[in-house]
Structure formats: structure tokens, C-alpha cells
């Protein structure tokens, strides 16, 4: 009987392969351009504002919004996620970004969802824009919970430098969090 230990290298290669498979699952790799991403961003913002009215006030107070209209996440032991979106400052698109995430552990299933990051301070927005690859951490506050209901934007939430709304889920996978998610500037 032979047992195989999963090394960091095999885990990383498996996760990257999984992310590559996800990229081919309707996220528009190879045929996506800025106009298409902007149209999806507009539709996503409209959906968020109508479904979660508290986000309108947050968006008005934010220094910038990173909108990821469609993130596809799947896992069977090893998992990954991929999507594309745009950074809006003052209502205008200033950059385009991709999002990628790799995970391992007891997981099975797939889901698609949208998410929006609200940069509430100039420093948070500046740090994001200057980084070559920004990773979301555990300090992100969620304004739309994992149950899909809207959380009131109280004073403590508004004082957080980065807020997140995750919504519009479809699929059979439990738990969409942004922790460990990496955002990279792209040219569409």
C-alpha cells in the first residue's frame, strides 16, 4: 500500500490548474474587452442597489468601488475561483482587474457570484492601486452577509477601510468569502 503526501508544490500546481479550468468556464478569457466588462459592471451595480438598498449610501461615501460581476468558484478537494471586473472612481472606470483564489481542504461543488469592494478611505484605495497584486484579508467587513441578507451600515462598519458585498449566488457550494483572494490589474 502506497500513500502519497500532498506537497506544497503539488498543491500549488493543482490549485493553479483548477483556476485555469475555471477561467475557461464562461468568464470570457480571450474575447473579453473593456466594453463588455463595463456593461457587466453596470448591470451588477444595478442589481446590488435594487436588492440591497443600504449599498447606495455606501457607494456614495466610498472613494472607489471594485466590481467583480461574475466570479466562478469550484472545488473538489482542491478549488479555485476566477473572474474579471473594473475599478470605478467617481463613477468612471479607471482600471480593470482579475480575481483569483485557490483553496484546499474538504470541499465539493461550484458556485457563481458577484462581489463589490468599497474602498472607504483614500489610503485603502491608494494601497490597492499601487500594489502589484492585492490580497483580501480577514479584516474585510461584509455589508451583505453570507445568507444574502443586508446588514445595516452602522458607524463601525463605515469606519472600516474596505467593505465587501457578496451577492447573486448560484450553485451548490457553501460559503463565499473573499479571504485569500488576489486581485491583479489587467488589460482587457
Q: Is residue 2 part of a domain?
A: no
The pLDDT profile of the chain, 188 residues, written as one tens digit per residue, is 444 444 444 444 444 444 444 444 444 444 457 899 999 999 999 999 998 888 999 999 999 999 999 999 888 777 888 999 999 999 999 999 999 988 777 667 888 889 999 999 999 999 999 988 877 765 566 776 544 444 445 544 556 788 888 888 776 555 555 667 888 999 87
Q: Is residue 176 part of a domain?
A: yes
Q: Is residue 143 part of a domain?
A: yes
How far is CA 130 from its chain centroid? 18
- Domain of residue 112 covers 8-186
The answer to pTM > 0.75 is: no
Q: Is residue 3 part of a domain?
A: no
DSSP-derived letter for residue 64 is: E
Q: Is residue 96 part of a domain?
A: yes
| Domain total of the chain | 1
Amino acid at each position: 500500500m502506497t500513500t502519497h503526501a500532498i506537497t506544497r508544490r503539488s498543491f500549488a500546481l493543482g490549485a493553479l490548474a483548477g483556476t485555469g479550468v475555471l477561467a475557461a468556464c464562461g468568464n470570457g478569457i480571450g474575447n473579453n474587452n473593456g466594453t463588455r466588462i463595463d456593461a457587466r459592471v453596470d448591470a451588477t451595480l444595478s442589481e446590488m442597489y435594487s436588492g440591497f438598498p443600504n449599498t447606495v449610501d455606501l457607494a456614495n461615501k466610498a472613494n472607489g468601488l471594485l466590481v467583480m460581476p461574475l466570479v466562478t468558484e469550484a472545488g473538489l478537494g482542491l478549488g479555485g475561483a476566477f473572474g474579471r471586473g473594473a475599478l470605478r472612481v467617481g463613477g468612471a472606470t479607471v482600471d480593470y482587474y482579475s480575481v483569483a483564489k485557490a483553496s484546499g481542504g474538504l470541499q465539493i461543488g461550484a458556485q457563481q457570484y458577484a462581489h463589490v469592494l468599497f474602498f472607504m478611505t483614500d489610503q485603502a484605495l491608494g494601497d490597492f492601486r499601487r500594489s502589484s497584486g492585492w490580497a483580501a484579508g480577514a479584516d474585510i467587513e461584509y455589508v451583505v452577509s453570507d445568507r444574502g441578507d443586508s446588514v445595516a451600515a452602522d458607524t463601525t462598519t463605515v469606519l472600516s477601510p474596505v467593505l465587501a458585498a457578496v451577492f447573486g449566488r448560484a450553485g451548490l457550494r457553501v460559503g463565499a468569502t473573499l479571504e485569500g483572494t488576489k486581485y491583479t490589474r489587467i488589460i482587457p
